[in-house]
Structure formats: structure tokens, C-alpha cells
């Protein structure tokens, strides 16, 4: 898959490491998701007073909105250890067994993309979440024995971008659910301002607002764009980030004023020129733009749906009026469609 500067997912280990350095460490430092933060602050204070582990938590929502950051913050606030893993990396029950038996009382186990757990691993974790024990089968056939292994009380924090793919039994094991949604521009601007202070670069308010418009409501993208603009300002300008340096840097990166990149624009123009604006199925679109359907559904569509550039109907995807206005193209489409 191509590398996209506006991708909500981490595009490289170096990119992820840079983002980690900009994460807040306290709940009161976290910007945005006001309702979720308020609920977490109440439940966190309650378990501190009772001196017991937190209930199991499930964070769900699009990538790049702070699910992993919140897990780190909760561990910091509770003064406990955070053990991080992911659903795809836990393919055998033995993988999870080693992690669970090494957890201390009050530790937090964070499983990213928890909907991708192997079925055998998912079933293995049920008694661990309910009764803090695991049943380990040794030998086979007539000599098979079940060894009951007690665990210390821990907290599981699961994160997923596809909550609908979680099985009902696993979902029912979580006591608290928090949905993370895209951030408004004013919150993204505050995040950019705070990150600029951490990076020790000077940025004015107008530049923050412009960059927030192009960050697709996602802090991870905002921080990535900030680093790219910082590099541009230091090399091509005097090191100060202003509106002119933001526009020049992001034009070079291929990010337009609405936060769209070449793949977004290719998808929209393909729908207009070849399918008269829709409706069109996702498989046909993927074949036409030469991308995987998962890429379009998980990495491209969410933001375009949010801003009304495309709409989903029972017959397929349809281009919204906002996209025609932005692209300055006629709604009727067709192979001979030209820009106005």
C-alpha cells in the first residue's frame, strides 16, 4: 500500500516513535473527546479511592484518535505497568499465556486491534477476564488434563477500529465502552499548538487553524503534518511556521485545503468521470483506482463520509454535492466532464 501523509495509521516505526514523543501523559493534558475524558476521570478516581484495578475498557473508533494514548495515560495515572500487544500477534494460546501469567496486580494489558484475535485465543481469554484464571490443557486424548492457573487481578484495555467485528461474548466481557470520534478543528489547533511547543518551534495561530483544516480531524495526522511543515520552514524559510509556509509545505506534500490527497481526489474524480457520480459498488471502485477494497473502506472512506463528499446508499457509493463544489465539477459527470 502506498505511503500517505494523511493516513490515520502509523506509516513507519519512525513515524510512530515521533508521535509517541508528542503524546500527553496526564488525563488533564489530553485535548478533545470531552465526554470520554470526563467519564474516565470519574472511573479513575473511583478505583483509586477503592484501591482496586479498573474495569476492563474497550476503546473503539477510527485510527489515529488517541486510543493507545489513553491506555498509556491510564497506566501513568494509576501508577501501574502497561503491557502492549496486538490482536494479530497473538495467534496461539501459549503467546497469551506467557503475557497473562507475568502480569502483576493492577497491571494494564493493552491489546490493539483486538477484533483480530484468533478464535482460540479469544476463547482462552474469557475466564481470565471474568475470574482471573486460565485453564491450560496438557497432554492429549485419554491423558489430557486441565490445569487451572490463577492470575493476579489486572485490567484489559482493548482497542479496535472495527467494533462490529467483535464477537458478542468478547464484547460482553468489557465493563466500560468509550467511542472516540473525529476532533473538531479547534481541538486539533490546540493539539498542534501544544506539539509545536514540545518540538520547540514557533507557530502562529493562523498557521495552526489552517493546518487543523487539513488534518482530517485526526491528531496523528496533525502531528505528522506539523513535522513536515517544520522541516520545510527550517530549510526553505526562517524556521517560523506561518500561513505561507503551511500552504507551501502542504502543497508540496500533495495535501489540498480540504485535507485531501491524491488518492482521495482520484477516488472522487473516478466516481464522477467514469460512474457519473454513482451509485457505484466498492469492488468496482477498487478495481478502477487499482486499490484494495479494505484500503478504500478503512483508510479513505471514513473521512470523505464525515465531510459529506461521498454517501453510502443501498445501491452503492454516491458523490455528495460538497465534493462537486470543492472539485468545481458538474454533478452530471460523464467521460467528457471538464472542470468549470
Question: Quick check: is 220 catalytic?
Answer: yes
Separation CA 88–CA 77 (nearest Å): 28
Of these residues, 31, 68, 69, 93, which one is catalytic? 68
Of these residues, 112, 187, 261, 264, which one is catalytic? 112
Cell of 20: 509517541
Of these residues, 4, 220, 227, 317, which one is catalytic? 220
Question: Quick check: is 198 catalytic?
Answer: no
Of these residues, 36, 69, 155, 161, which one is catalytic? 161
Query: Strand locations in the chain, DSSP E?
Result: 57-60, 82-86, 108-112, 133-138, 145-150, 155-160, 176-179, 310-313, 316-319
Cell of 67: 486510543
Integer angstrom CA distances of residue 115 from 10, 36, 71, 161, 316: 18, 21, 17, 8, 26
Separation CA 105–CA 103 (nearest Å): 7
Question: Quick check: is 273 catalytic?
Answer: no
Question: Quick check: is 313 catalytic?
Answer: no
Which residues pair with residue 109 across a beta bridge?
83, 156
Question: Quick check: is 50 catalytic?
Answer: no
Of these residues, 4, 23, 67, 193, which one is catalytic? 67
* CA atoms within 13 Å, Cβ hemisphere of 64: 25
Check if the beta carbon of residue 225 is closer than 8 Å to that of residue 250: yes
- Nearest residue to 150 via CA among 105, 93, 110: 105
- Catalytic residues, which ones? 67-68, 112, 161, 220
Amino acid at each position: 500500500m502506498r505511503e500517505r501523509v494523511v493516513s490515520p495509521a502509523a506509516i513507519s516505526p519512525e513515524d510512530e516513535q515521533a508521535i509517541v514523543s508528542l503524546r500527553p501523559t496526564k488525563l488533564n493534558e489530553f485535548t478533545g473527546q470531552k465526554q470520554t475524558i470526563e467519564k474516565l476521570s470519574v472511573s479513575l478516581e473511583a478505583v483509586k479511592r477503592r484501591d482496586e484495578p479498573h474495569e476492563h475498557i474497550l476503546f473503539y473508533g477510527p485510527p489515529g484518535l488517541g486510543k493507545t494514548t489513553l491506555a498509556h495515560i491510564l497506566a501513568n495515572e494509576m501508577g501501574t505497568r502497561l503491557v502492549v500487544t496486538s490482536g494479530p500477534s497473538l495467534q496461539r494460546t501459549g503467546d497469551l499465556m506467557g503475557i497473562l501469567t507475568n502480569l502483576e496486580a493492577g497491571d494494564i494489558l493493552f491489546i490493539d486491534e483486538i477484533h483480530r484475535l484468533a478464535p482460540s485465543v479469544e476463547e482462552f481469554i474469557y475466564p481470565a477476564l471474568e475470574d482471573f484464571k486460565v485453564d491450560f490443557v496438557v497432554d492429549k486424548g485419554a491423558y489430557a488434563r486441565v490445569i487451572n492457573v490463577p492470575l493476579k487481578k489486572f485490567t484489559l484495555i482493548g482497542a479496535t477500529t472495527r467494533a462490529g467485528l467483535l464477537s458478542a461474548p468478547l464484547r460482553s466481557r468489557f465493563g466500560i465502552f468509550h467511542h472516540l470520534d473525529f476532533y473538531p478543528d479547534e481541538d486539533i489547533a490546540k493539539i498542534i499548538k501544544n506539539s509545536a511547543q514540545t518540538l520547540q518551534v514557533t507557530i502562529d495561530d493562523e498557521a495552526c487553524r489552517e493546518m487543523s483544516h487539513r488534518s482530517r480531524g485526526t491528531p496523528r495526522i496533525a502531528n505528522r503534518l506539523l513535522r513536515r511543515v517544520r522541516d520545510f520552514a527550517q530549510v526553505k524559510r526562517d524556521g517560523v511556521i506561518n500561513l505561507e509556509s503551511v500552504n507551501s509545505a502542504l502543497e508540496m506534500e500533495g495535501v489540498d485545503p480540504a485535507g485531501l490527497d491524491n488518492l482521495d481526489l482520484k477516488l472522487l474524480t473516478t466516481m464522477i468521470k467514469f460512474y457519473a457520480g454513482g451509485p457505484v459498488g466498492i469492488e468496482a471502485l477498487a478495481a478502477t483506482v487499482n486499490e484494495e477494497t479494505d484500503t478504500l473502506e478503512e483508510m479513505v472512506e471514513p473521512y470523505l463520509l464525515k465531510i459529506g463528499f461521498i454517501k453510502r446508499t443501498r445501491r452503492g457509493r454516491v458523490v455528495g454535492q460538497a465534493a462537486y463544489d470543492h472539485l468545481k465539477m458538474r454533478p452530471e459527470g460523464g467521460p467528457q466532464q471538464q472542470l468549470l
